[in-house]
Amino acid sequence: MKTILLNPGPVTLSDRVRGALLGPDLCHREPEFSDLQARIREKLLAVYDLGGEHWAAVLLTGSGTAAVEAMIASCVPAEGALVVAENGVYGERMSAIAAAHRIPVERVAAPWGAEIELSEIERVLAREERVSHLAIVQHETTTGRLNRLEPVAALAARYGVRLLLDGVSSFGAEEIRFEEWRLDACAATANKCLHGVPGTAFVLVRRDACARAPEPPRSVYLNLAEYLAKQDALGTPFTQSVQTFYALEEALSEFLDAGGVSARRALFRERMARIRRVLEASGVRPLLGAGETSCVLHAFELPEGNSYRALHDALKRQGFIIYAGQGALSERVFRVSAMGDIDDAALDRLEACLQAALPPGGKAVRR
Ligand SMILES: *Cc1c(COP(=O)(O)O)cnc(C)c1O
């Protein structure tokens, strides 16, 4: 039985992507690698129809956080400052990254799951003249909330501040208006909505944003400007994870063949709606309204008397991996994601397993 991962990445691989991992041994200084890297970079731009004149995809070997850290450390100029809008673990992580690099940072924090108050962002932007960038998570995976970027982007634009987006759990599925929202960069990873393998992350960056990178750089390994220059010259500053590159190229081909962002969004929406319906019928309450959440993941309140561990283990015995809540939500909430190669038969089985584990009327699955 194939394990179905319903955690927010890594995802269940398609046979096509798994098969790509077995590509030939390849030195990262050979032209075959340069070609592979160049094709992936082009395909990543194609996901949101970005032109290579103003935009570039920069490929990194690491998890999603490597891309977020490279973006923040490289895009905020030496004389700049960062506002971070936080309403979950990943927003908080961006503030921690900024602090680690001694970047002046102003945090605008909302409770986890709540909407970030525009007026609070504005108060900071009005007060702090040095602010050059605003960092925000599009899909805050902690709770499933999809942060509404349009008003935030409009506000930032009024203050001449550019956006740095953590799109790690939304890139490839949610709408991202790179130009209209005045993004300087968006960080993401291979192994979430794109259905690739963990090990490759990337930043889509405006070329002129990289040109303002601090000198000397804040990081040697996570220096986007250096990666960009080398990758434009068909090279790489460091050894890349060649096999996961193979897998990412295949995942991107599969993604573009299937109809790209709107097709993937529709697929995830359909899956999430189905899971949500089954759980609601069992009396399980979603943490957020359907209109507030991403298409990628929804969080649910664990019904009274149920333990997460028991629910997790019951589903795991049937081949499904769900995900715990983080921090203070770990006892109260569980999360289910719709990403990955999941066929209809597996969804049917999941439905039956959820109903059995959480019967209507709430017979508790006890520890
Ligand atoms: C998964 C995720 C990350 C990165 O996590 P890694 O474990 O480093 O891959 C960053 N931001 C968000 C919103 C995420 O969901």
Bridge partners of residue 250, in order along the sequence: none
Is 240:28 a contact under the CB 8 Å cutoff?
yes
Residue whose token pair is 């030195």? 27
> How do residues 97-107 score in pLDDT, each as one tens digit?
999 999 999 99
- What tokens were used for 172? 């490839």
CATH 3.90.1150.10 range(s) for the chain read 4-8+260-357
pTM over 0.95: yes
Q: Is the CB of 171 under 6 A from ligand 1?
A: no
Distance 169 CA to ligand 1 centre (A): 7
Is 71:122 a contact under the CB 8 Å cutoff?
no
Residue 366: per-residue pLDDT? 44
Distance of CA 348 to the CA centre of its chain: 27
Q: Which of 25, 55, 41, 74 is nearest to 234 (CA)?
A: 41
What is the fold, at CATH topology level, of the domain defined by 15-257?
Aspartate Aminotransferase; domain 2 (3.40.640)
Q: Is the CB of 199 under 6 A from ligand 1?
A: no
Q: Does 185 have pLDDT greater than 60?
A: yes
Residue nearest atom 9 of ligand 1, based on CA coordinates: 64
Q: CA–CA separation, 324 vs 342, rounded Å?
A: 20
For residues 327-336, average pLDDT:
92
Q: Which of 64, 267, 49 is nearest to 166 (CA)?
A: 64
Q: CA–CA separation, 100 vs 264, rounded Å?
A: 35
Residue 229: per-residue pLDDT? 97
Q: Is the CB of 166 under 6 A from ligand 1?
A: yes
For residues 327-346, average pLDDT:
95
For residues 312-320, average pLDDT:
97
Distance 166 CA to ligand 1 centre (A): 8
Distance 328 CA to ligand 1 centre (A): 18
- Helix H or strand E encompassing 240: none
Residue 19: per-residue pLDDT? 98
> How do residues 197-206 score in pLDDT, each as one tens digit?
999 999 999 9
Ligand 1 atom with the shortest distance to the CA of 138:
13
CATH 3.40.640.10 range(s) for the chain read 15-257
Q: What proportion of the chain, given as a percentage, has pLDDT over 90?
A: 93
CA angle 206, 251, 296 (to 5 degrees): 75
Residue whose token pair is 């007026």? 119
Residue 190: per-residue pLDDT? 98
Residue whose token pair is 């291979």? 190
What is the domain class of 4-8+260-357 according to CATH? alpha beta
Ligand 1 atom with the shortest distance to the CA of 68:
10
Q: Is the CB of 62 under 6 A from ligand 1?
A: no
pLDDT confidence bin for 213, thresholds 50/70/90: confident
Q: Which of 289, 346, 345, 284 is nearest to 315 (CA)?
A: 346
Residue 102: per-residue pLDDT? 97
Residue 1: per-residue pLDDT? 76
Identify which of 146, 166, 295 to mutate to test ligand 1's pocket (most ligand atoms within 8 A of the CB).
166
Residue 331: per-residue pLDDT? 85
Q: Is the CB of 55 under 6 A from ligand 1?
A: no
What is the Cα Rg of the chain in Å? 21
- What tokens were used for 135? 């960092």
Buried b / exposed e over 127-166, threshold 16 CB at 10 Å, is: eeeebbbbbbbbbbbbbbbbbebeebbebbeebebbbbbb
Q: Which of 145, 332, 316, 73 is nearest to 324 (CA)?
A: 332
Residue whose token pair is 């790179």? 178
Please state whether the peptide bond connecting residue 104 to the residue before it is cis, i.e. omega within 30 degrees of 0: no
Distance 90 CA to ligand 1 centre (A): 7
> How do residues 2-39 score in pLDDT, each as one tens digit?
899 999 999 999 999 999 999 999 999 999 999 999 99
Q: CA–CA separation, 82 vs 160, rounded Å?
A: 13
CB atoms within 10 A of CB 318: 15
Q: CA–CA separation, 199 vs 61, rounded Å?
A: 6
